[in-house]
Chain A
Amino acid sequence: MTTTTTQQTSASAPHEERRGAIELRGVRKMYGNIAAVDDLDLSVEPGEFVTLLGPSGSGKTTTMMMVAGFEELTSGTVLIDGEPVDRLPPKDRNLGVVFQSYALFPHMSAAENVGFPLRMRGVQRGERRGRAEEALARVGLAGLGDRRPRQMSGGQQQRVALARALVFNPAALLLDEPMAALDKRLREQMQDEVKTLQQSLGISVLFVTHDQDEAMSMSDRIVVMRDGRIVQEGAPEDVYAHPRTDWVANFLGDTNLLPCTVLERKDGEAVVDLGAWGVGRVRDRGAKGDAYAVSIRPEHLRFVDADRCENRGSGRVLSSTGLGATIRHRLHVGGQDVVMRELGTGSRATGGLDSEVTVGWSPEEAQLLVLEP
């Protein structure tokens, strides 16, 4: 491009105020009669890492594509830094998008790929090259600018895509399952690097994944989606510890669900009748429904003495499997099978298969939740 540049990119202008707020208000997307996304309210604060987590078909990718401008909203509005962007085409939204397939231009070198958004903004060749190399160095690809995408590994291609999405200082970063194609070890490494990069740049991220471990390890906030709606949102530990429904509890990790009737609820605690497990106290967030259960994570069950614990059940051991750092016990307690995870390599409390055991939990670690119909 030989045209002279008149447009200065926002990258070089010193923007001190925090930007990158994304807000969705009453967003709905209909495909025929089916609502892919239904009446969704969502906000990403400047510098926040928010993950849309859900199974396929939950509307998480559609939601992100509406933010990026690739899907039109049936109703509702999307705001970036307080400005409605519904009429802006994707090219003017100033968002860095990384696709699952990386979508690198195959006929361009890595540096040309990274320089592309700068070229579209009228940055001249020399400066472009410098800033592209800089961005590549930031993702650990210094000196590989002349490689073509097909000469690079999947992990390297992903870094190029990341550098390309960041080089023009976008308002926010949208990541659509960017790790799905990587093997486990590389995926974990990339998760750490993306998180570190995001924190050092202070950039807002809207992340889409169906992988709960990925969501747990990277996010400031998780938004769990199902059938186009938000089922629950909150900090990763909070959503994990206090699932609102049995579906969320099962989707985010393993859990034991004990059906119960609520006897009394007040001050964030409920007294519940667990049938064969007796009457116990559990954590309560006030969720209302037709049927209730108590969720206890396998790692929160422990072997107790029969009369030393308020919340407990007795039964026998079905199996014990060593998993290295932990042991997984399958127990039959109070008429139902439960799973328990115990730290350590040698079990202290069981006398082997079919032995009688008593397990208990503390009220802070058991959550009252709604059974979805």
Chain B
Amino acid sequence: MRPARPRHVSSLIASVPVFVFLVVPTLIVLPVAFTGSRYITFPPQQLSTEAVTGFFRDQAWMSALSASLQAAGVAVVIAVLLGGTAAVALHGRTFPGKAAITGLLLAPMIVPAVVLALAFYQFFISVGMVGTVLPIGLAHAVLAVPYAFLTVRASLAGLNPALVRSASSLGAGAFSVMRFVYLPVIRPGLVAGALFAFSVSIDETVIALFLQSPNATTLPVKMFTDIQYNLTPKIAVSSAMLVTVATLGLLVQVCFTIRRRSVARLLPLTAPEQTG
């Protein structure tokens, strides 16, 4: 790959400004969160943890954080259960309508958020589910199902179909097959799906804005409404927190991918032959 070196260097040089352009605006929230001023200012005049501690003492911000976590919890559990079981059910089967079912499962990724938001808004009002975090969590679950479905489906790609048959011939019922054959294989997919579902829910704003109520205001919604009235650095604190959560999620995901790759390298399909 020697001759390709100069091109590597030039593409590296070209990618630096793009990287800066993409990441730096996001990272600005970090110093802003540690400003000593009472308003969002950049660059910060003096450094202080006042805004951070203020954020965690503020009842309104804490309830927004709690609403976000609750909605995300509901979304993660439902998305992983539905997406995971759907992926297992569709694995290795061919039947008419399979493509349609897959399309339906993936549809929430394509439908514009504002359209979904309006639909959820009308639906939850008509069934009288308003004023709590639950409808937000349910709506986020719909958004997150495709992610869990895709990650679990990807982890199933390496499953030897004979394992399922083998387990049932050895006396395993559906539950045992799930537990001893599918679960160990799809576990990384479930974890990745849960992380995706969590990050989808935690920063989703449009639907949460439509479904908000005094008792159900999520963090992004609170940030959005607050920034119109006062420019408290607590907004930056909350942004910094979301950025940190997203970064951590990404890192965990990267770790999983690296580990799975290295395991895959150690696990050739046929073991080298030795004298039996």
Contacts and interface: CB of A to CB of B under 8 A. Distances in A.
Interface of A: 68-70, 89-97, 99-101, 103, 105-108, 116-117, 120-121, 149-150, 152-159, 164-165, 168, 181-183, 186, 189-190
Nearest to A189: B276
Contacts of B272: 153
A136 to B, nearest CB: 13
25 contacts: A68-B165, A70-B168, A89-B168, A91-B169, A93-B169, A96-B169, A97-B166, A99-B162, A99-B165, A103-B160, A103-B165, A103-B166, A106-B184, A108-B180, A116-B172, A116-B180, A120-B170, A150-B266, A154-B271, A154-B276, A155-B273, A156-B274, A159-B276, A168-B171, A190-B276
A275 B175 CA distance: 69
B271 A157 contact: yes
A99 B170 CA distance: 12
A315 to B, nearest CB: 46
Contact of B172 (A70, A95, A120, A157): A120
Interface string B235-275: 00000000000000000000000000000001100111111
B273 A164 contact: no
Q: Which of B163, B171, B181, B266 has the most CB of A within 10 A?
A: B171
B173 interface: yes
Given A107-B184, A150-B266, A186-B273, A91 B171 contact: yes
Contact of A103 (B162, B172, B270, B276): B162
B213 interface: no
Interface in B158-197: 160, 162-163, 165-173, 176, 180-181, 184
A107 B163 CA distance: 12
Contact of B273 (A108, A183, A190): A183
B42 to A, nearest CB: 51
B168 A90 contact: yes
A181 B268 CA distance: 14
Nearest to A70: B165
Given A91-B171, A150-B271, A120 B276 contact: no
B266 to A, nearest CB: 7
Contacts of A101: 160, 162
Contacts of B274: 153, 155-156
Contacts of A92: 171
Query: What are the 6 A-B residue pairs with the smallest beta carbon separation, nearest first?
Result: A155-B276, A120-B171, A103-B166, A153-B274, A103-B162, A117-B170
B41 to A, nearest CB: 54
B185 to A, nearest CB: 8
Contacts of A70: 165, 168-169
B168 A156 contact: no
Most chain-A Cβ atoms within 10 A of its Cβ — which of B168, B170, B274?
Answer: B170
A312 to B, nearest CB: 48
B267 A181 contact: no
Contacts of B163: 103, 105
A186 B163 CA distance: 24
Nearest to B184: A107
Given A97-B165, A103-B162, A186 B170 contact: no
Contacts of A120: 170-173, 176
A116 B170 contact: yes
B270 A154 contact: yes
Contacts of A189: 276
Nearest to A176: B162
B169 A155 contact: no
B180 A97 contact: no
A150 B180 CA distance: 17
Nearest to A93: B169
Contacts of A156: 274, 276
Contacts of B181: 105
A198 to B, nearest CB: 18
B205 to A, nearest CB: 41
Given A101-B162, A152-B271, A168-B170, 15 more contacts: A89-B168, A97-B165, A97-B166, A99-B162, A103-B162, A103-B166, A116-B170, A120-B170, A120-B172, A121-B171, A150-B271, A153-B272, A155-B274, A183-B273, A186-B275
